[in-house]
A and B are shown apart, each in its own frame.
Chain A
Amino acid sequence: MEKMERRKFLKLGIYSGAGLLVGSFYAFSNKEKSPDVKKYEDLLQYDWGFIVDTTRCIGCGACVRACKIENDVPDSFFRTWVERYEISDKEVVRVDSPNGAIESFKKNNFSGDVVKAFFVPKLCNHCVNSACTQVCPVGASFHSPDGVVLIDKKHCVGCGYCVQACPYGCRYIDHRKGTADKCTLCYHRISKGESPACVNACPRNARLYGNLKDPKSQIRKILHKRRYGLLKPDLGTNPKCYYIGLDMEVK
């Protein structure tokens, strides 16, 4: 008799425990308010691409400053930066980017003559076959329907795999928030028809963005006219950031 009662008690305990557990999952489940956003079909009309004209950049760093203010980028990390390449008359190459060029460049690197020198602004290339979205274990790094690689800050666990996988060094872990972060092509601005902060700030038209799906867009026209290069094309990431006047010293 005692054994029967104890067994009944145990059964009751286990079943009610399981029930409570499942019920608590309901309580913790994420019911989200769906914010106003364009429909999926509308977004499919766009495929955002970017052009960096290295023949026009003067390395003033206005883009870096504008991006930092626009997107609250933490200190010593960069969503975009400018690199400077200088080749001396003795064929020595020197590359630098002092604090991402946020305060431009203060002096030349070589005291002697320089035979070739130029600036290369860099940012997330928003690759079509991006390594970062492939390796995210939780699906927090993804492609939007309009071709922008984005990070879901509410879902990211901060494992850092995407930071390792990006060949271009454009991702970082925001230590204040614990999640990954990177250039979003100012998605919040381009969705309203405004240009990204860096494009807006550039005084030399060295940065351009546009819809690659629109055959009449400026970006398509430039790509059909000028010669351009991609960064690390051998890695198969299919980046959508095109560098006009790209020199082979730029890795």
Chain B
Amino acid sequence: MDPAQSFLFPNELHITWTVMIVLYPYITGMVAGAFIVSSFYHVFGMEKLKPIARFALVSSFAFLMFATVPLLNHLGKPERALNIILTPNFNSAMSGFGFIYMAYMIIVFLEIWFSYRIDFIEKYEKSHGIVKFIYKIIILGITNDNDNTRRYDKKIVVVLGGIGIPVACILHGYVGFLFGSIKANLWWSTPLMFIIFIFSAIVSGLAVLLFLYLFIHWRRDKTISQDSIDLMAKWLWGFMIIAVTLELMEILSISYERTEKWAILSKLINKELKFSYVYMQIGVFSIVPFLLLTITSLFKSLNNKVRNFLIWFSSGLLLLQVLFMRWNVVIGGQLVSKSMRGFTEYFPGYFDKEGLLVSFLIIITPFILLRYFDKIFPFFGAKKLAE
């Protein structure tokens, strides 16, 4: 029996970028998205977003703490990770990672510091012993608090927020650019990748904020700021439509042009990625939230409880949609052989160094961290809603 055609270059049997590299853009997507939402309040003064502004900032910081973990886990030589700062090759999209990450870290840290200074001072004065000493270090021993300092603080937060938006866009956008500029990979190479990633990041940022906000308020039985939720849900709906449209346009364009790569990419979509892309990412996790959010955004007469539940559910689905999108892009692109004649396979393994258990831990830990950040940077129900 003459065998069917399937060929890989011998080195392509094992893929290089594993599920760790799926998680990295996922996490930085939430970092960037959450920060941009927070900045819409601080910089553009949208009052409706005030209740979630600080929460968004702290979430961004919590996820940021964990953004490098999947990368360090993946590197062949993580002990040399500092080489990226010592001898960066600026022709490479990845070289910016070190500097942009540090710059963004400084911006977010400063913005949080300036936002929460008043709370810290208050805590410092009320606590004793070691905790008091820790707070003293945090506020640098300066307890000055009056109208002037508050005015200055507010200005600085605005400036930092303003600088932060492009930096956040670059922090996540460079990953999209990195993928889109790899001409060797048939699935990745497109100028749109940078844009798709940013819009997808905003979707994931909004989704995670909505998801957590509603969840925390239900758990703590607090009143929900319905205006913020409605606004964010509408944005989520809008950005989600744009993000999915961009991705589908990309595929429509390739399939219409019928260049050489379409033959193998159509097989990729119809066979290898049929489940994770067609059924899951588009089918379940895009169409369903789209319909649900259409209902919540267009039908004003809907009961708030039902509406909030639908929004919460859609946010959860969209969080998964973004995760699947990252998987389909990163893993999907590596499944295709550069010879355009076949596919390889990938399963991350359960307990491997870069396996499913580790992935689960990496995703879960920022959320746990956020839980404890609440104690240090209380983001809901602070008496004086400082900036």
Contact = CB atoms under 8 A, between A and B. Distances in A.
A–B in direct contact per CB < 8 Å: yes
B13 interface: yes
B5 A138 contact: no
Contacts of B13: 76
Mostly, the B contact residues are loop
B340 interface: yes
B3 A109 contact: yes
A138 B87 contact: yes
A171 B2 contact: no
B11 A178 contact: no
Interface string A145-166: 0000000000111111101111
Given A157-B84, A163-B16, A178 B5 contact: no
A136 B89 contact: yes
Interface stretch (B107-115, B178-186, B194-202, B355-363): B178-186
B247 interface: no
Given A78-B10, A159-B94, A235 B77 contact: no
Given A135-B92, A161-B94, A165-B182, A97 B76 contact: no
Contact of A96 (B2, B7, B95, B184): B7
Given A109-B3, A155-B87, A137 B183 contact: no
Given A155-B87, A156-B77, A95 B11 contact: no
A50 interface: no
Interface stretch (A40-48, A86-94, A222-230): A86-94
Nearest to A182: B11
A210 interface: no
A158 B92 contact: no
Interface string B83-115: 110111101111101000000000000000000
A71 interface: no
A172 interface: yes
Given A160-B16, A171-B11, A251 B5 contact: no
A167 B10 contact: no
Contacts of B9: 81, 97, 122, 168-170
Contacts of A175: 76
A93 B2 CA distance: 11
Contacts of A137: 84, 88-89, 92, 94-95, 97
A134 B2 contact: no
Interface residues of A, number: 54
Contacts of B81: 157
A139 B76 contact: no
A99 B11 contact: no
Contacts of B367: none
A180 B80 CA distance: 14
B75 A158 contact: yes
Contacts of B341: 95, 251
B236 to A, nearest CB: 32
Interface in B1-39: 1-3, 5, 7, 9-14, 16-17
A157 B77 CA distance: 5
B84 to A, nearest CB: 5
Contacts of B5: 92-95
A125 interface: no
A100 interface: yes
Contact of B92 (A96, A111, A134): A134
Given A157-B75, A170-B11, A179-B77, A139 B184 contact: no
14 contacts: A76-B14, A131-B184, A134-B92, A137-B95, A138-B95, A140-B83, A158-B76, A158-B77, A166-B184, A169-B9, A169-B338, A169-B339, A173-B76, A178-B77
What are the 4 tightest A-B residue pairs by CB atom distance, in nearest-first order?
A158-B76, A178-B76, A169-B9, A167-B184
Interface of B: 1-3, 5, 7, 9-14, 16-17, 74-78, 80-81, 83-84, 86-89, 91-95, 97, 178, 182-185, 334, 337-341
Given A92-B2, A160-B74, A164-B334, 13 more contacts: A83-B7, A94-B2, A97-B10, A136-B92, A138-B80, A139-B89, A155-B83, A158-B77, A160-B76, A169-B9, A172-B11, A172-B16, A173-B16
